Amino acid sequence: MKKTKTVLVCVTPQESSKQLVKAGKAIAEKHGAKLEVISVLPFEQGEYKIEPNILENLYQTASSNGGEMAIYFSDDPILTVSAHVAKRKPLTLVVGFPGENSNNFIGTIHLLLPDVPISMAGEDGTVYNILPQEAMPMPAAL
């Protein structure tokens, strides 16, 4: 059985996630791949800390762009996303640019899964890629 190629977009419950999903959709269409969206929401002190309308908005954003949505509740988003990525083996993981108080999410994912390309999508639609070391062209000898 042939495995379907996927592009995985990692979103948070904020408006800018729509741009990430659109970037992921464009990458998926370019490669003839399926779009998948993942979100990891906090599970603090034994309770889910999220409003139902936020979950619905995330689902609608994924669905309206032809994607499927996976939602996890965890207080360790890096480990949760890494496990999902390792299982799904996407063509690329699409994420947003880190904020000023970043927890080094992207760097840690890249350290844990160095063979997985990561695409960072900006709000203006620009996409920057972190590629596996072996995929980068080596400079010519001088």
Domains and CATH numbers, the chain: 6-14+31-133 (3.40.50.620)
Contact 70, 40 (CB under 8 A): no
Phi-psi region at 69: left, alpha or beta (left = phi > 0; alpha = psi -120 to 50): beta
Write out pLDDT tens, residues 86-139: 999 999 999 998 877 777 899 999 999 999 999 999 888 788 898 775 544 444
Query: How many Å apart are CA 112 and CA 40, to the nearest integer?
Result: 17
69-78 mean pLDDT: 91
Between the CA of residue 61 and those of 4, 9, 22, 70, 137, what are the distances in Å? 22, 11, 9, 12, 36
Q: Does 46 have pLDDT greater than 80? A: no
pTM: 0.85
CB 123: neighbour CB atoms within 10 A? 12
CA dist., res. 93 & res. 110, Å (int):
10
Most confident of 35-39, 54-58, 100-104: 35-39
In order of 7, 70, 80, 103, the CA distances from 112 in angstroms are 18, 21, 12, 15
What pLDDT shows up at residue 49? 65
The secondary structure of residue 21, as a DSSP letter, is H
> Cα separation of 66 and 125, whole Å?
18
Query: What's the rounded mean pLDDT across residues 26-48?
Result: 87
Q: Which residue has the tokens 């994420």?
A: 95
pLDDT at 44: 72
What pLDDT does 45 receive?
64
